[in-house]
Structure 1
Amino acid sequence: MSIHRDQIIRCACDLYLSDGIEGFSMRKLAKCVGCTAPALYRHYESKDEVIQDVVTEAYRQFTQYLYRALEGRTPSERFTMAGKSYFDFAMEQPALYEIIYLPRAILGAHSADVAVAHEASAIGQFWTDRVREMMDAGFLKDGDPSEVSHTLWGHAHGLISIYHRGLLSVQSPAEFRVLMTESFFRLMKGLGTEAFDEVVESIRKVRNMEPFTA
């Protein structure tokens, strides 16, 4: 039987999120994949190596979504496309999104710490760059780009986490997209300049684009 890496990653991600690191085993993973444990050991030496691969894949797909925003021609296009790409990843890949935000100590993939730290730093810089160029273009009020990017990032992650846990009254992803966008507009009233009205119109257009699929 041929075992595909993406099948192992998908099963490992689901198994970890349901059972945690203590309940994760190669035997359970093999059952989910539909093979024997010895067959899995031909691909991975241990469960820690499997989880490391899951974390690496989660970040790889996350950055693939985000960096699509670099195709934008202007600061406002890149800014709005980055927000849309973040939302699309969270909605289309909820398990991988959850893995990314699990504390390393809980995840148990200590061998992935260096790689994760590098990817997390790159993503943080990506958001800071989007904010800095919006400030330079006069769309955002002057301030510390890193602090403002953390504010925006925290706002997005907070709402998405609440939605994923079923704590909002919205019934569909489409309704949640509207709720999140309107909430973002309210936040931007404090962070944006008068010129941000142009960005608001751009965001409304981007919302009608087809979701990006990795």
Structure 2
Amino acid sequence: MTESRDLILDHASELYLEDGLDGFSMRKLARRVGVTAPALYRHFESRDALLMELIRESAQTMLAYLGRALAGTSPMDRLRRAGAAYLDFALDHPRYFLLYASLCERLDPETMEAEVGEGVESVARFWEDRVRECLQTGAFRPGTPDEIGLTLWTHAYGFVSLYLGGALGLSEDEVRGAYMASCIRILNGIAAPGALPHDTPAPGVPSGNPAADLLHETSTP
């Protein structure tokens, strides 16, 4: 088998998600790819360099999706679009979604190569900018960017992780409706009165999506 950079990264992402950082080795990866370990070093000088490339690819891909949200016409619209783009990224690139957070948690950003660190910082800055502009324009109730950002991120990341792990029992079409309905429910608790568009479904209001309607029904007192 002829090794290629993309093929190596594809197998590397699989191996990392199966064995974790401690179980990841170039020797194991070489066996998966079907080459000798030295052949891998023609593309990546070390295990850490390969893992850094996985982070860089994941960050760049995520940013390409998140960039779609900038077409929004208001801070809240851009935030909602960003939430939808985040789900699109996760569904289209589930390996990147899963390994990005894990690798960023395990590896110190200060020790990352400059280009990789910039990508990670750009992702974080994108979300911070969305939250800050909502706060600055009065779209959110009073709070700090860190507090609100943590609430939004843990909800979105947790929801998608549960789906990818098979815990929700929903089809992809159903999970899209359920995810957005759940995001709107979170925003209803954070947004200032009147900040959400009038066409935004509120808890208890049918949305036309069975999964979303089910979530509304189960959350309405």
2:155 aligns with: 155
Aligned residues of 2:109 and 2:117 also touching (Cα < 8 A): no
* Stretch deviating more after TM superposition (109-118 or 8-17): 109-118
Where 1:101 maps in the other structure, the secondary structure is helix
- Greater helix fraction, Structure 1 or Structure 2: 1
Question: Percent identity at matched positions?
Answer: 38
Counterpart CA distance in 1 for 2:127 and 2:109 is 25
Q: Identify unmatched segments of 5+ residues in structure 1.
A: 205-214
User: How far off is 1:156 after superposition?
Assistant: 0.5
What residue is the counterpart of 1:129 in the other structure? 129
Q: Which residue of 1 aligns with 2:204?
A: none
1:111: Cα distance to partner?
4.9
Task: Report the RMSD for the aligned CA atoms in angstroms.
Answer: 2.8
Distance verdict in 2 for CA 1:121–1:46, change over 3 Å? closer
1:81-120 deviation digits (Å, cap 9, x = unpaired): 2111111111111111111111557469995376655444
CA distance in 2, matches of 1:137, 1:106: 36
Contact 2:58 2:97 in 1 (8 A): yes
Amino acid paired to 2:182: S
Q: SS where residue 42 of structure 2 aligns?
A: coil
For 2:186, the equivalent position in structure 1 comes to 187
Could you tell me how far 1:36 is from its partner in structure 2?
3.0
What's the TM-score once normalised by structure 1's chain length? Answer: 0.79
For CA contacts below 8 A with separation 6 or more, give which structure has more relative contact order.
Answer: 1
- Aligned equivalents of 1:41, 1:33: Cα separation in 2: 13
Moved more, 54-63 or 116-125: 116-125
Instruction: Give 1:78's aligned residue.
Output: 78
Q: Distance in 2 between matches of 1:25 and 1:110?
A: 23
Contact kept, 8 Å, 2:59 with 2:123, in 1: the verdict is no
| Cα pair 1:76 1:199 within 8 Å, conserved | no
Alpha-carbon shift at residue 152 of structure 1 (Å): 0.9
Give the length in aligned residue pairs: 201
Residue 15 of structure 2 corresponds to residue 15 of structure 1: yes
Q: Show the counterpart of 2:212.
A: none
Q: 1:104 touches 1:113 (CA, 8 Å); kept in 2?
A: no
